[in-house]
Amino acid sequence: MTDFIETRIIKAVRELLTGKMNEILKESQYNIPVIEFENYNSQDIISPVISLTDCELTEKERIIRLNAFTLTITFTLPEMPEGELYCYAYAGAINRALYDNPTLGGIVNGAALISRKFREPKKQHCGEGWGLTVTVRVIIEGDLCQ
């Protein structure tokens, strides 16, 4: 049984984050929490939320049979003094990981980071920490049922 393309994209992104991105973070001069997707509750591990939606296509993209998705990766950090630094580290690491592997291991034809949004706490010491939302455009050529 073949997986849906959406499932394969999310799996490839998870592998990218827990693989290449964690390697980049470990090479940093700072002690940045690594990415994991298990049910861990620790300040040494961050579990981002990944969501995938269809992306609006231009007429040209429809004619040449491209399919596009918007992939959103949201990092929510607990309130801590290093929260801002961690957001910038994650943004840089994911940018580098996508640059090194724009096809997500051959699953898609191209994935490009299109925006990064940094969220600072609205009010300090109220339990809301820093956050980062990364938006990636994913392109697949041809039929999705391959």
CB neighbour list of residue 75: distance below 8 Å, 6 or more residues apart: 46, 48, 87, 90, 131, 132, 133, 134
Residue 56 pLDDT greater than 90, yes or no: no
Q: Give residue-wise pLDDT tens across range 16-38.
A: 999 999 999 999 998 999 999 87
Other beta carbons less than 10 A from residue 76's beta carbon: 16
Distance CA 52, CA 73 (A): 9
Percent of the chain with pLDDT over 70: 90
Question: Would you say 48 and 72 are in contact if contact means Cβ atoms under 8 Å apart?
Answer: no
Pairing assessment for the beta strands 66-76 and 49-54 based on DSSP bridges: antiparallel
Highest mean pLDDT: which range of 18-27, 61-70, 75-84: 18-27
Domains of the chain: 5-141 (3.30.70.1700)
Q: pTM to 2 decimals?
A: 0.87
73: closest CA among 3, 141, 1, 18?
18
The reported pLDDT for the residue numbered 145 is: 47
What end-to-end distance do the CA atoms of the chain give, in Å?
12
The reported pLDDT for the residue numbered 120 is: 87
Distance CA 143, CA 135 (A): 24
